Homo-oligomer: A and B are copies of this chain.
Amino acid sequence: MRAAVLHAPGDVRVEERPDPRIEQPTDAVIRLTATCVCGSDLWPYRGIEAINEPTQMGHEYVGVVEEVGSEVRTLAPGDFVVGSFVISDNTCEICRAGYQSRCVNGEFVSMTIGTQAEKARIPLADGTLVTTPDVPSDDLVPSLLTASDVLGTGWFAAVAADVQPGKTVAVVGDGAVGLLGVLAARQLGAERIIAFSRHESRQQLAREFGATDIVTTRGDEGVAEIKELTHGLGAHSVIEAVGTQESMMQAIRATRPGGHVGYVGVSHDVSLPGDELFFSAVHLHGGPAPVRRFLPELIDLITRRAIDPGKVFDLSLPLDQAAEGYRAMDERRAVKALLTV
């Protein structure tokens, strides 16, 4: 099969790799319908995260089940499925508490599988994959694909930030996750949604997803604007979707005392000062999103056409042109690149 492989920073090649096969009785093999490039793929692409060897990339996926292991009970060949970027058994105590991204038998798809490919072996298939009601029409595929990570992550961020009806939410980060955090906040009933963005096309998408205000400054200046918009108090809920020191401090400082920060940007060189955090009196929650928790609800919203998160894809390429997808996202020419298989 063909798969996208990162050889070195900036060097993505689509090349031949062995077809995946059932290895464990709980595995499924799926044929990908679509996959995509994630903001987090850019960390190794930019050389900020080291890779030791040529690495098959990708962790977002929708597709059709080709084959299942002997112990798989809930899936059959021909089923259309969406899966999380973390494998989970969905039965352990941590999964049952809603934290499937930290399943005791969990593994990151990006570390061991790589779904920017024609096929993928999905371990713990019963726990990881969720079927759609029917094989979806083509126009629903991009939205379903977002559920695999960026929508599920933006949604978790909004839930972690305790977004509530009638409240004010600020969103730090105008990548796909931040934009879908806006969408989630709207769905969860937020009254006012303030998106930080300096890019006109992203501002436009933020507004389409439900942003009521756009703030173009950042850092302390951005925080001051949020305070001004909230009677000096700060937002009730802040979604952080970047993962840098600046973005984390911006999120914490933009939150009112007793408010909530939901942070999902993968932390890179972040160090939180205890005293400032203490006196901020905010709630802080985040981490790798337990997308599996939200998949049934998100699939339902998408197939009922209540939400259209697939709009975050502003570039669509065949898998063979994966390298161009990486380049376009690296250069911020694209918010998110979909790869058709």
Chain A residues close to B by CB (< 8 Å) = 93-94, 97-99, 101-102, 104, 231-233, 243, 245, 248, 256-258, 263, 266-275, 277-288, 290
Residue contact B288 to A256, C-beta cutoff 8 Å: no
- Contact at B278–A102, with CB atoms within 8 Å? no
Given A231-B93, A263-B278, A271-B271, A258:B288 Cβ within 8 A: no
Among the listed B102, B278, B290, which residue makes an inter-chain contact with A287, where contact means beta carbons less than 8 Å apart? B278
Which residues of chain B are within 8 angstroms of A273 by Cβ–Cβ distance? Answer: 270-271
Q: Which residues does chain B contribute within 8 Å of A101, judged by CB atoms?
A: 257, 281
List the B residue with the shortest CB-CB distance to A94.
B257
Rounded to whole angstroms, the CA-CA distance of A272 and B248 in the bound complex is: 12
When C-beta atoms are compared, the residue in chain B nearest to A232 turns out to be B104
Q: Are A281 and B272 in contact, CB atoms less than 8 angstroms apart?
A: no
A295 to chain B minimum Cβ distance, whole angstroms, is: 17
Task: Closest B residue to A98 by CB, please name it.
Answer: B258
Among B248, B275, B280, contact of A270 (Cβ-Cβ < 8 Å): B275
Q: A284-B284, A287-B279 are in contact. Are A271 and B270 (CB under 8 A)?
A: no
- Cα–Cα, bound, A104→B266 (Å): 33
Copies in the assembly, this chain? 2
Are B267 and A274 touching (Cβ within 8 A)?
Answer: yes
Which residues of chain B are within 8 angstroms of A94 by Cβ–Cβ distance? 233, 256-258
Chain B residues with CB under 8 Å of A257's CB are 94, 99, 101-102, 287
Contact B274 A248 (CB under 8 A): yes
* Secondary structure dominating the interface of A: mixed
- B284 and A285 contact, CB distance less than 8 A: yes
Q: Determine if A285 and B288 form an interchain contact, defined as CB atoms under 8 angstroms apart.
A: no
Which residue of B has the minimal Cβ distance to A261? B284
Q: What's the Cα separation between A248 and B266 when bound, in Å?
A: 21
CA distance A281 to B266 in the complex (A): 12
Q: Across the interface, which residues of B come within 8 angstroms of A256, CB to CB?
A: 94
Which of these, B248, B267, B270, B279, contacts A288 with CB under 8 Å? B279
Closest to A106 in B: B257
Output the least CB separation between A50 and chain B (Å). 14
Residues on the B chain within 8 Å of A281, using CB: 99, 101-102, 286-288
Contact of A267 among B102, B248, B278, B283 (CB under 8 A): B278
Q: Which of A102, A231, A275, A278 has the most CB of B within 10 A?
A: A278
A94-B258, A102-B257, A281-B287 in contact; A272/B271 too (CB < 8 A)?
A: yes
Given A94-B233, A271-B273, A277-B287: 18 more A-B contacts, CB < 8 Å:
A93-B231, A93-B233, A94-B257, A97-B258, A98-B258, A99-B258, A99-B281, A101-B257, A102-B281, A104-B233, A266-B278, A267-B274, A268-B275, A272-B272, A272-B274, A277-B284, A282-B285, A283-B285
Task: Give the 7 A-B residue pairs with the shortest CB-CB distance, closest first.
Answer: A270-B274, A267-B274, A102-B257, A99-B258, A281-B287, A272-B272, A267-B278
- Using CB atoms, name the residue of chain B closest to A283: B285
Q: How far is the CA of A164 from the CA of B12 in the complex (A)?
A: 49
